[in-house]
Amino acid sequence: MAVSRELAERPADVVVATTGIGLRGWVEACETWGLAEPLLNAMRGSRLLARGPKAKGAIRAAGLTEEWSPPSESSAEVLEYLLESGAAGLRVAVQLHGEPLPDFCAALRMAGAEVVEVPVYRWTAPEDVTALDRLVDAVLAGQVDAVTFTSAPAAAGLLERAAATGTRERLVAALRGDVLAMCVGPVTARPLMARDVATVWPGRARIGALVRRLCEELPETRPDLPVAGRRLRLRGRAVLLDGVLRPVSPALMRVLRELARRPGQVRDRAELLAGLGEDADAHAVETAVARLRTALGDPKIIQTVVKRGYRLALDSGDCASPGSTD
């Protein structure tokens, strides 16, 4: 309230709206304090910069007009615009979006601007973390093909929760490996990139664009394997066999993933046993393979190599992984 009253009484030269929900929430909060009209009147004399189209829409919904909005929807481009036009001596109000913008605000201050930070809302961990823990467990169990992230705090929050449960390193390893990390944009991806997790994002930071990019990328992460005259593709909790989805239990899926990691090559029982847990004995592999054959509905997909182990029956003429000699 104090920041809003100060800006109503002493208007900023420039107001930076970083999110649509943030600007709308700011105006709505001011309405409850009786400050909405004075604040909006003050903003009419300010230069209004919108980080993206949603912020632009919120500015216009409030009866105001933006001066400029970057095509990249990037805070970095907003900063560049302000610095190039000259920030010295300006009073700049920056609407924050759930967390501080230290680099953005520090650069403006170094350029001679007076920066007023407006913390409209903040991100916190959920009170009930059950769903978050289930997600981490599913990723670690190989039951998830991709994880989507729509904000940087959400990505950071997942990593923080995993750290609290002692699983962060394993989670990061999974995201670096078989699990696709799909982000709505580069800002969202930063907490993951800081951990050397390769991320993918669409050309426009929109949920719809994220879904379309996910549909393009996800099939490429799972090869279509020609085995025993069939077409086999693994999914998080199921197998696509000749276009038909066949559910597979998590334990059996771990065995199948191990076989598919080097299709056509023999995997010995010890390698497959590791995926069945510490309590599994030597006979567990035979049992798991038998159950897996039943789940797939075609026993010929997995071949037994006497005294050596098992392999996927990769069709002749198709290459296994590099270096295969079997």
Predicted confidence at residue 321, as pLDDT, reads 43
CA gap 322, 326 in Å, rounded = 11
User: What pLDDT, in 10s, does the model give residues 15-46?
Assistant: 999 999 999 999 999 999 999 999 999 999 99
Please list the residues that pair with 147 across neighbouring strands.
181
Burial group, residue 72, by CB count within 10 angstroms (0-12, 13-18, 19+): middle
Predicted confidence at residue 60, as pLDDT, reads 96
User: What pLDDT, in 10s, does the model give residues 130-186?
Assistant: 999 999 999 998 888 899 999 888 999 999 999 999 999 999 999 998 899 999 988
Domain end residue (candidates: 189, 221, 253): 221
Same domain, 108 and 34: yes
Q: Which among 70, 69, 79 has a CA at the least distance from the CA of 102?
A: 79
Residues of the chain with pLDDT under 50: 318-326
Long-range contact pairs involving 236-240 (C-beta distance under 8 Å, separation at least 24): 236/138, 236/142, 236/143, 236/144, 236/145, 237/143, 239/295, 239/296
Q: What's the full length of the chain, in residues? A: 326
Contact 51, 16 (CB under 8 A): yes
Quote the domain boundaries for residue 170. Answer: 130-221
Same domain, 101 and 143: no
CA gap 144, 82 in Å, rounded = 43
Number of domains in the chain: 3
CA gap 15, 18 in Å, rounded = 10
CA gap 199, 193 in Å, rounded = 7
Same domain, 107 and 150: no
Predicted structure pTM score: 0.68
Same domain, 261 and 175: no
Same domain, 207 and 233: no
DSSP-based three-state secondary structure for 298? coil
Q: In this structure, what CATH number is given to the domain that contains residue 26?
A: 3.40.50.10090
Predicted confidence at residue 317, as pLDDT, reads 59
DSSP-based three-state secondary structure for 222? coil
| Residue 123 in domain | no
Predicted confidence at residue 38, as pLDDT, reads 96
| Residue 321 in domain | no
Domain end residue (candidates: 201, 221, 241): 221
CA gap 189, 306 in Å, rounded = 47
Place of tokens 């069709």: 315
Domain end residue (candidates: 118, 153, 170): 118
Residue 278 structure tokens: 């510490």
Contact 184, 150 (CB under 8 A): yes
Same domain, 307 and 234: yes
